[in-house]
Every structure is written in C-alpha cells, then in structure tokens.
Structure 1
Amino acid sequence: MPPASSRDDFLVTRANRDALAMLDAPQGWPQGRLLLVGGAGAGKSHLAGFWADERGAQIVQAWSLTPQGADALVPADGALVIEDGHEIGGNAQAEQGLFHLWNLAGARQCLLLITARSVPRDWGIGLADLRSRLDTAVQALLVPPDDALLPAVLVKLFADRQIQVAPEVIDWLALRMDRDLDLARRLVAAMDRESLADRRAISRRLAAELLDKLAAPDP
C-alpha cells in the first residue's frame, strides 16, 4: 500500500512549518522560484507532491533533464516541480537542461519548485551560469525533526503499512534513535520485514535489535 501523501497526511511541526508556509506563498518567491532543501526522508517529496497536485504541475527528476526537452516541460502561467536537484552535478546534459528550463520558467511566468538534499553550492555544478542563478534562489529549509515530529512520523510510517504499534515502542524509539527521518523510514521497513519473516511481534526488543544494526557506523 503506498504511503498516505496528501496535504492532510503531512505532519506539521516547528521543524517544517516555515518551509510549508513558504511553499504556500508563491507570490513571495523571487522570480517565481523556490528551492526546497532537506535531508533524505525529511518530507520534500511529500510536500512537493501535494503542492504539484493542487496546481496541476508536472514532477520531473532532475537527472533526466536535457536542453532539448526543456521547452516541452515549461507551461505558461503554470507550475513545475524538479525533484532531486542535487543529482545533476557533473551531468552536463542535466545541467544544461536545468539552465534552459530556469530561463524559460522566468519568460513564461511559470512557478518553479526544485527539491534537493543540500544547497546548490554542494551539488558540484560545472556550468557557471547555472550555479550563479541557483545561488540567487530563495531556500525553504526542512530542519531535523523535533520532539513532536519524530514520534508522529514513526506512527505514520507504521500506519502506512497498516501496522498498529504499542505507544511504548514508539516512545522508546523516539528517545533513543537519532533525529533522522531516513533512519526512521528504514527502521520501520526493517521491523515490518523481520516481524513477517520470523512471525514476531513488533516490540521494544525487536526495535532495539534493528536500531543497533541500522544505526551502527559502516566498518
């Protein structure tokens, strides 16, 4: 079953409230462009997904961009989402594609939302003209989860898999794991797999075993 991904399913806390407010006020985006920046699992795709649905916008992966395809992607007076902008660094075709798309979006008054795991200066972009344009864009930052968001996300991740977990398991995890939503996603998936494979209940003991494995540093 796919995860619940509507606006109503998005968990709003201090960690993401400001980014959501910026997303909902595109009239305040300089030149109609916004970078949505956050770590893996921070909620970028969820935010971008319902924003795109509400505006009838297409979602395109950054690595797939080409100079030849840019024109067909940019609607006049519409909106467009580019996912995973950080993946274009060193990909000359994708860099040129985003550069053309960026210019076309301005000319056609098309809102442009770009998601990424890091700020543009860390993408390794070789095209200087694109790098300078990205550096001028306003950024909406998704910060690490706060005390309210992490347990709420754990509950949602289990619910997406139609699993009910005792509150004490959620509380135990929230107190002991890093505030890392990607780790939360991987941990819930691993607990689901282990529970089904070994016919074990999802318990604090299982949570502890898998948390130790997934949080351990690479050798």
Structure 2
Amino acid sequence: MSKQLSFDLPAKPALEREDFFVAPSNAMAVALLDRNFTWPSGKLVLSGPKGAGKTHLVHVWAAESGARILRARDLHERDVPMLARGPVAVEDVPDIAEDGPAQNALFHLHNMVLTEGHQLMLTGRPAPAQWDLGLADLQSRVQAATHAALAPPDDALLSVVLAKLFADRQITPKADVIPYLVSRMDRSFAAAQAIVERLDKMAMAEQRMLNRALAIKLMSADREM
C-alpha cells in the first residue's frame, strides 16, 4: 500500500477573498467589506474567537483597499503620521489594554486616519465593549465604530475550515476524515487548527496516510486524557 509523503513544511495560509467561506456566522462581516459600502464614521471593528477568520478578512480588505496591517502591540507614536496616509488595520487591540503608550498611539492614529478621510479597521476577540481600554477616549471611540461579530462555526462552516486548514498544509485527507472530525470535535476554530496540526504531525511521524483510522487514534487519545 502506498504511503502519503509528508514534509515538515510551514503551513501557508490562503488569505484571498475566494478562499473565505461565507456562512451565516460571518455573512454580516463579509457584507461590510463590499467596496460599495461606506462604514459609518469610517471605522469598523471585527470581533470573534481565535481562528474565526478576522485576520483573513483583514487581509482581504487590505488587498482591495491598499491598507497597512499591524498588531496593536507593535504600534508606536512615531509611526502614526506615516500610517495615517492611508487606510489602516490594527489587529488584537485588547492586547494593549494595559499598555498606555500603545493606547495613546492608537488614539492619535484613529483621529489622524479619519481626519485624512481614510478608513480604520480594528480587531479583537471579545466585543468592543469588553476591550477595557484604560484610555477612556479611545474606548469610547472604539465602541462608536460599526461592529461585526464573527460567531463560532456550524457544521458546514467547520467542515470547510478543516478542508482549508488541510489545504494550507498541502494535505488531502481521505473523504471520511472531515465528517468524522466534525461530529466529535469541540465546536471552535481553535480546536480545528489544533487537530489539523496534530494530525499532520502524526501522519508525518508514522509515515501513514491521513485517513479515518489516524483521526480515530487522535480523538481516542484525547478522550483518554
């Protein structure tokens, strides 16, 4: 029986618009990215659990708008004038809830980007009311933004997410693997990412095809823990 060749290569995420599966849990966020839609006040907040697709949507929007993307904790006051020359996406804003300088920089970036007539996108896992930013003026401006929440996946979306995660790793599992996983795994994108990574490593270590038997072995081991 032939074996599936596996190489320990880094996963290469597919982040184009056509790679994003639209479902009821994310349809509002996708609609707000339409080029013909103008965000009220020029700003949008995307929230949702890890792996829900926030970064994917940020990259889709940036590719179409020419926006710069950076993490909130990497933002510095000295960079604000340059960043404000165009649209900007700032990811993981709640990470700076206790970082005064970063909050001040984001506050000034927010004001300058909008004053220049550009758009600002912000992301975080919880809803913006729960970001607990210490700078009250920044927190109020965040909460005034248009907000789209990405919900946990249903079975159909989870199946597509698993397929995409396998494809990112250049893996084609047997047809019965994904339905088996969906029926038994935790209902979260984070769980999907962890399972695909572990199955990839198991298949490589054991030089086996990624089939239902390997999936059963993984899920059985989790139940025994």
User: What TM-score, normalized by structure 2, do the two folds share?
Assistant: 0.88
> Could you tell me how far 1:171 is from its partner in structure 2?
0.5
Residues of 2 paired with 1:23 and 1:134: CA distance?
18
Task: Point out which structure has higher relative CO (alpha carbons under 8 A, 6+ apart).
Answer: 2
- Matching of residues 85-164 of structure 1 within 5 Å: 85-164=93-172
In percent, how many aligned pairs have the same letter?
Answer: 42
1:45 aligns with 2:55: yes
One-letter amino acid of the counterpart of residue 167, structure 1: A
**Cα distance per residue 1:111-168 (max 9 Å; x no partner):** 0011111123322311111111111111111111122111111111111111111221
One-letter amino acid of the counterpart of residue 84, structure 1: D
Residues of 2 paired with 1:215 and 1:159: CA distance?
27
> Could you tell me how far 1:213 is from its partner in structure 2?
5.6
Give the count of matched residue pairs: 215
Q: Which residue of 1 aligns with 2:197?
A: 189
Residues of 2 paired with 1:130 and 1:204: CA distance?
50
SS of match in other structure, 1:139: strand
> Could you tell me how far 1:102 is from its partner in structure 2?
0.8
Q: Which residue of 1 aligns with 2:4?
A: none
One-letter amino acid of the counterpart of residue 103, structure 2: E
CA RMSD of aligned residues (A): 1.9
Q: 1:212 to 1:30 in 2, by over 3 A?
A: farther
> Could you tell me how far 1:192 is from its partner in structure 2?
0.3
One-letter amino acid of the counterpart of residue 143, structure 1: A
1:166 aligns with 2:174: yes
Q: 1:213 to 1:63 in 2, by over 3 A?
A: farther
SS of match in other structure, 1:115: strand
> Could you tell me how far 1:72 is from its partner in structure 2?
1.4
Match of 1:70 among 62, 74, 80: 80
* Long gaps (5+) in structure 2: 1-10
Residues of 1 paired with 2:221 and 2:47: CA distance?
28
One-letter amino acid of the counterpart of residue 159, structure 1: A
Equivalent pair of 2:132/2:139 in contact (CA under 8 Å): no
One-letter amino acid of the counterpart of residue 73, structure 2: W
User: What TM-score, normalized by structure 1, do the two folds share?
Assistant: 0.91
